[in-house]
Structure 1
Amino acid sequence: MKNTLENIENQFEMIQILNEEGEIVNEKEMPELSDDDLKELMRRMVYTRVLDQRSIALNRQGRLGFYAPTAGQEASQLGSHFAMEKEDFLLPAYRDVPQLIWHGLPLYQAFLFSRGHYHGNQMPEGVNALSPQIIIGAQYVQAAGVALGFKKRGEKAIALTYTGDGGASQGDFYEGINFAGAYKANAVFVVQNNHFAISVPVEKQSAASTVAQKAVAAGIPGVRVDGMDVLAVYKAVREARERAINGEGPSLIETVTYRYGPHTMAGDDPTRYRTEELDDEWEKKDPLIRFRKYLENKGLWSEEEENKTIDEAKEEVKAAIKKADGVEKQKVTDLMSLMYEELPSNLQEQMEEYKEKESK
Structure 2
Amino acid sequence: MVPENSKRKWLVPDQVPVGPPPHPHQTNPKGLILAGDIGGTKTNLALFQVVDNHLITLKEHNYRTKDFDSFIAMARDFLTDMEKPDRTCLGVAGPVVQGRVHGTNFPWDLDTRELSHQLQWSPIFLINDMEANAYGLSLLAPSEFEPLQKGSGMAGNAVLMSPGTGLGEAGLYWDGTTYLPFATEGGHADFSPRKGLDIDLWHYLHKKYGHVSWERVLCGKGIHDLYEFLGTSGKFPESQEVSARFSLEDPAAVITREAMAGNDDLCRETLMLFIRYTAIEASQLALKFKAMGGVYLGGGIAPKILPAIQRDTFHAHFLGSGRMDELLENIPIKVILNERTALLGAARYAATH
TM-score range, shorter chain: under 0.3
Instruction: Report which of the two has the higher share of helix.
Output: 1
TM-score by length of 1: 0.28
TM-score by length of 2: 0.28
Instruction: Report which of the two has the higher share of strand.
Output: 2
